[in-house]
Amino acid sequence: MATFVDQVTLYLRAGEGGNGCVSVKREKFKPLAGPDGGDGGNGGSITFFADPQETTLLSYHHKPHRSSDKGGFGMGDWRNGYTGQPLDLPVPVGTVVRDADGVELADLSEPGMRYVAAEGGQGGLGNASLANTKRKAPGFALLGTPGEELQVQLELKIVADVAFVGYPSAGKSSLIAAMSAAKPKIADYPFTTLHPNLGVVQAAQYRYTVADVPGLIEGASEGKGLGLDFLRHVERCSALLHVLDCGTLDPGRDPISDLDVILEELRSYPVPEGQTPLLERPQLIALNKIDLPDGRELADFVRPELEERGYRVFEISTVSHEGLKELSFALGELIERDREAKLAELAIKPRIVLRPRPVDEKDFEIRVEGGTHGNTYRILGEKPQRWVAQTDFANDEAIGYLADRLNKIGVEDALFKAGAVAGSAVIIGPGSQGIVFDWEPTLTSAAELTVSPRGTDSRLEENARTTTRERREGYYERMDGKAAARAELEREREGGVWKVDE
């Protein structure tokens, strides 16, 4: 059974907003006292926050589908619906949030950082909120919009000050157990450590965290031996401690060759943009297992060559704890200098400039797409798509209100410019989720100038009023018909079919 998970895919669905209410206030002696329908409540959002108490993504591995509460419906007597309860998901510090395509959305690298991954749906307005001086009693309300539904990938990258790197069975787990209160699994076979272990070291005034990274082998930067899964936990560390095995019995291996292999793998691993390459970070070397007779002799033999390369070398034993005090103080001094350097960088960090949205930026765009019966015009934009989701298409007045809203942001003029004519197919929304309309330009006249019963819109009704030309043609047809009837009667009289009584 898995006890540590550092990669997981989550399926999020934020709560949808509640529908607005259509209601008319009725009291004694006031049968129609005006609209009183309340607004629907907003749906709950889903938020990730970095929690220092979390160490693994295991809970999301077992339960990958998460959803927040819906918003409540509006009710009469101006009662608004309740707001859906948001869902806060704790993740370990160092978690990276990516979308389904692998694009990074957020890096929760500090405790308390929050990221809203899925926004809750917006509650619909009730008819009381839609009323104005010209539309005094709306017979419709807006529907709540659905909440965001998406797939995200969580990846944990351990945040520690020092990372212990080295070959399998080099003694990294024993070292972290000897220096801190961590209790990793320790055994005498390779790849005992299958996930990073964190520990806190207190050396006099120095306090820092260390991470025991699972063993690396040649080809780790290319994925061999799960190397990529292990190397990503080194990205966040400020310094590296190379733990070299001076008691190995494997033929062809020695501390120098082990170090060269590990350095090549660290050099080949690409770090994210803006981060310091792994080999440019401070590095120390610990020659482990000097409690063995051959181990101390080998450590004394390779130490001069390592120091010639510029490394600071410590001979240690995790069994007898020899050399651990000096090593812990040296790591503390190294981390303290790194923290001071980072604080200096933060002091001169450039100010973040917030740029407002351009005034002339359009709320929508129109794409002309081909079709079997002429061009199709697709309207894309946050506002039009949200307005369509809020419209009750079973209510004619709500459809007329949608047409008015689209006209006010210039959709009517843009369709004319794009070449649309009456009867053209217009789609609002992307892909197959879009709503298809047969465009009628006459629907965009101001609804406030029309007088219709609640819940109806006269612009959607068939206009049976005849024009002046039609009335003139009808009059001439009636006059011609009367003349033809008189002529027929005269012919019958002259033929003796009937006669006038004297």
**Residue 103 shares a structural domain with residue 172:** no
CA distances from 419 to 405, 413, 423 (A): 21, 10, 12
Q: What is the pLDDT of residue 221?
A: 43
**Residue 336 shares a structural domain with residue 214:** yes
What is the full DSSP assignment across 425-474?
Answer: EEEESSGGGSEEEE--GGGGS-GGG----TT--GGGS---PPPHHHHHHH
Q: Is 259 part of any domain?
A: yes
Domain count for the chain, please give it: 3
Q: Is 288 part of any domain?
A: yes
Q: Is 397 part of any domain?
A: yes
What is the distance of C-alpha 486 from the center of its chain? 82
CATH of the domain at 102: 2.70.210.12
Q: How confident is the model at residue 352 (pLDDT cuts 50, 70, 90)?
A: low
CATH of the domain at 379: 3.30.300.350
Integer Cα distance of 172 and 245 in angstroms: 10
Q: What does the pLDDT look like over 35-58, one tens digit per residue?
A: 999 999 999 999 999 988 887 788
Whether 47 contacts 113, CB under 8 Å: no
H helix or E strand, kind and range, residue 411: helix 411-418
pLDDT exceeding 90 applies to what percent of the chain?
19
Domain membership of residue 121 as a residue range? 1-156
Structure tokens at 46: 């889903």
**Residue 149 shares a structural domain with residue 166:** no
**Residue 100 shares a structural domain with residue 182:** no
Among residues 284, 315, 347, the one where a domain terminates is 347
The C-alpha angle 273, 279, 283, rounded to 5 degrees, equals 130
Q: Is 375 part of any domain?
A: yes
Q: What is the pLDDT of residue 44?
A: 95
> Greater confidence, 335 or 460?
335
Integer Cα distance of 228 and 163 in angstroms: 15
Residues of each annotated binding site for Mg(2+): 173, 193
Among residues 121, 156, 191, the one where a domain terminates is 156
3-class state of residue 48 by DSSP: strand
Average pLDDT over residues 428-443: 79
Q: Is 100 part of any domain?
A: yes
- Mark out the alpha helices in 269-354 (DSSP H runs): 293-308, 324-347
Average pLDDT over residues 134-155: 91
Q: Which residues pair with 153 in a beta bridge?
A: 9, 98
Whether 182 contacts 206, CB under 8 Å: no
Sign of the CA dihedral running 472, 476, 481, 482: positive
Structure tokens at 427: 């789609």
Q: How confident is the model at residue 18 (pLDDT cuts 50, 70, 90)?
A: very high
Residue 447 has pLDDT above 60, yes or no: no
Residues of each annotated binding site: 166-173, 191-195, 212-215, 288-291, 317-319
pLDDT exceeding 70 applies to what percent of the chain?
81
Q: What is the pLDDT of residue 183?
A: 65
**3-state class percentages of the chain: helix first, strand second, coil last, to nearest 5:** 30, 20, 50
Residues of each annotated binding site for GTP: 166-173, 191-195, 212-215, 288-291, 317-319
Sign of the CA dihedral running 485, 491, 493, 496: negative
Q: Is 281 part of any domain?
A: yes
Structure tokens at 275: 């981060």
